[in-house]
C-alpha cells in the first residue's frame, strides 16, 4: 500500500494517517444546513487518506451526483496525538496548517440524512479533499483568527473568519481525543463558513485563509 502524503511549504512531504472532519462548526453554516448551533455538541465524520488531491490538480466531477458542493476549511495536521488531550496542551500536538476543500455530494448526503444512513459516500469519495501546502505551526501567527474565502470562477462564494468557529482548534482536538486516540499524521478539517453551493465541470475553485495559504482546483469532466 502506498503512503499518502501532502506537500509542505518546506519542500518535504507529510504522510497522512487519516482524515477527520468536524461538522457544522460555524453558526451560519449550521443554520443554512438546518441545524441549531446553540444546541449541538461537535460531531465528526471521516474521509479516507487517499481522498486528498494536491498540487492544484484538477478534480474529476464524481459519479452518482448532480449536486457537487464546495466547503472551504482550515486543515490541522497533527505531529503527535493521544487520548483525552487537555485543551491547554492540544496545540502542542499540531505540526501545521493548510487550506482544504471538503467536497460533498449534497444530494447523496440529503438522502442519507432522510434515511438515517451514514454519510460515507457523500463525503468520502475519490478526490473529495483538495488541499494546499501544509505550513508549519510556527509560521502561522494565529490559527484561530483570519479571513477565510472561496472564489468560484472569480466570484466570491464563501467568506468568514476563523474566529467564528463554534469549537476552536484546541477544543476540536480535545473532543476528538475523547472519542478516539489521535496520532501523528491525522488531518482534521475544522468546518466551513456559510455560503456552500454547487459547482459544475469547468469551474475554478480558489480558496484562501489569511496567514495560512491557498488551495486551488478546477472541476473536470469525469471521462
The torsion of the CA quartet 82, 88, 89, 92, rounded to 10 degrees, works out to 130
Phi, psi of 214 (to 5 degrees): -135, 165
Which three cell numbers mark 213? 495559504
Q: What CATH number is given to the structural domain containing 133?
A: 3.90.850.10
Number of folded domains that form the chain: 1
Please state, as a whole number, how many other Cβ atoms lie within 10 Å of the Cβ of residue 127: 19
Report the predicted TM-score, pTM, of the whole model to 2 decimal places.
0.95
For the segment 156-213, what is each residue's pLDDT rounded down to a tens digit?
999 999 999 999 999 999 999 999 999 999 999 999 999 999 999 999 999 999 999 9
Which three cell numbers mark 134? 501544509
Distance CA 143, CA 169 (A): 8
Cell 496542551 belongs to residue: 89
Which pLDDT score is estimated for 33?
63
Distance CA 91, CA 172 (A): 10
Distance CA 69, CA 178 (A): 30
Which pLDDT score is estimated for 223?
56
Which pLDDT score is estimated for 39?
59
Q: Give mean pLDDT in consecutive 10-residue pieces for the chain, a chain of 223 residues.
A: 93 98 82 69 94 98 97 98 98 98 98 95 98 98 96 97 94 97 98 95 98 98 72
Which pLDDT score is estimated for 7?
98
Cell 503512503 belongs to residue: 3
Domain that holds residue 43: 5-220
Amino acid at each position: 500500500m502506498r503512503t499518502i502524503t501532502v506537500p509542505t511549504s518546506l519542500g518535504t512531504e507529510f504522510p497522512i494517517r487519516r482524515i477527520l472532519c468536524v461538522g457544522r462548526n460555524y453558526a451560519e453554516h449550521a443554520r443554512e444546513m438546518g441545524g441549531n448551533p446553540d444546541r449541538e455538541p461537535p460531531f465528526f465524520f471521516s474521509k479516507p487518506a487517499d481522498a486528498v488531491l494536491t498540487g492544484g490538480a484538477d478534480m474529476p466531477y464524481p459519479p452518482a451526483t448532480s449536486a457537487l458542493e464546495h466547503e472551504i476549511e482550515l486543515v490541522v495536521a497533527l505531529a503527535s496525538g493521544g487520548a483525552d488531550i487537555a485543551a491547554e496542551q492540544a496545540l502542542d500536538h499540531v505540526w501545521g496548517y493548510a487550506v482544504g476543500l471538503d467536497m460533498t455530494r449534497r444530494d447523496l448526503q440529503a438522502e442519507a440524512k432522510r434515511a438515517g444512513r451514514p454519510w460515507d459516500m457523500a463525503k468520502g469519495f475519490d478526490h473529495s479533499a483538495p488541499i494546499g501546502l501544509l505550513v508549519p505551526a510556527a509560521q502561522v501567527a494565529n490559527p484561530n483568527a483570519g479571513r477565510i474565502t472561496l472564489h468560484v470562477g472569480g466570484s466570491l462564494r464563501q467568506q468568514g473568519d476563523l474566529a467564528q468557529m463554534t469549537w476552536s482548534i484546541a477544543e476540536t482536538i480535545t473532543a476528538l481525543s475523547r472519542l478516539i486516540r489521535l496520532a501523528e499524521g491525522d488531518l482534521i478539517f475544522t468546518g466551513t463558513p456559510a455560503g456552500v453551493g454547487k459547482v459544475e465541470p469547468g469551474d475554478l475553485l480558489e480558496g484562501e485563509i489569511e496567514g495560512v495559504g491557498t488551495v486551488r482546483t478546477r472541476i473536470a469532466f469525469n471521462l
